[in-house]
């Protein structure tokens, strides 16, 4: 079974665990495999599959690093998970301090939550 078939069957954890056992975290093959899985999860918006696993944090970091947060933020808002939404935006700000948009999210939690509420209604 190849990686495409495993992804379609939502065997994300199996793939990620195998990659963790087979490769070191800085191995280019490990990075390629994990990025591919995170991309697929982002495309199909299946974030709950990794929630509460050791791979959720690295996926969030990946999405923040490559500025691909739209689907995750929408997912968190749809599930009324504003606290995690603020945390994700804070991580994004830390990684992208020079990005003008990210400065909107940096002030504090109350302002960030208010910003999220405004964005929901537009």
Do 78 and 121 share a structural domain? yes
pLDDT of residue 119: 58
pLDDT at 99: 64
Residue 110 vs residue 13, higher pLDDT: 13
What is the domain extent for residue 116? 69-122
Q: Do residues 7 and 37 touch, judged by C-beta distance below 8 A?
A: yes
pTM of the model: 0.78
**54 and 17 in one domain?**
yes
Residues 6+ apart with CB under 8 A from 59: 38, 41, 47, 50
Each residue of 24-81: pLDDT tens digit?
999 999 999 999 999 999 999 999 999 999 999 999 999 999 999 999 999 998 888 8
Q: Are residues 88 and 37 in the same domain?
A: no
What are the residue ranges of helices labelled H in 9-100?
Answer: 12-22, 28-44, 56-65, 70-78, 82-95
Residues 41 and 76 in one domain: no
Band (pLDDT 50/70/90 cuts) for residue 96 is confident
- C-alpha of 42 from chain center: 7
The confidence score (pLDDT) of residue 102 equals 46
């Amino acid at each position: 079974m190849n990686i495409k078939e495993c992804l379609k069957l939502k065997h994300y954890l199996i793939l990620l665990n195998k990659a963790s056992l087979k490769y070191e975290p800085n191995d280019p093959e490990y990075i390629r495999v994990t990025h591919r899985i995170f991309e697929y999860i982002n495309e199909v918006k299946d974030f709950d599959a990794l929630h509460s696993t050791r791979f959720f944090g690295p996926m969030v970091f990946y999405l923040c690093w490559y500025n691909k947060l739209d689907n995750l933020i929408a997912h968190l808002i749809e599930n009324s998970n504003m606290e995690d939404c603020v945390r994700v935006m804070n991580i994004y700000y830390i990684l992208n301090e020079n990005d003008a948009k990210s400065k909107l999210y940096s002030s504090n939690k109350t302002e960030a939550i208010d910003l999220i509420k405004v964005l929901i209604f537009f």
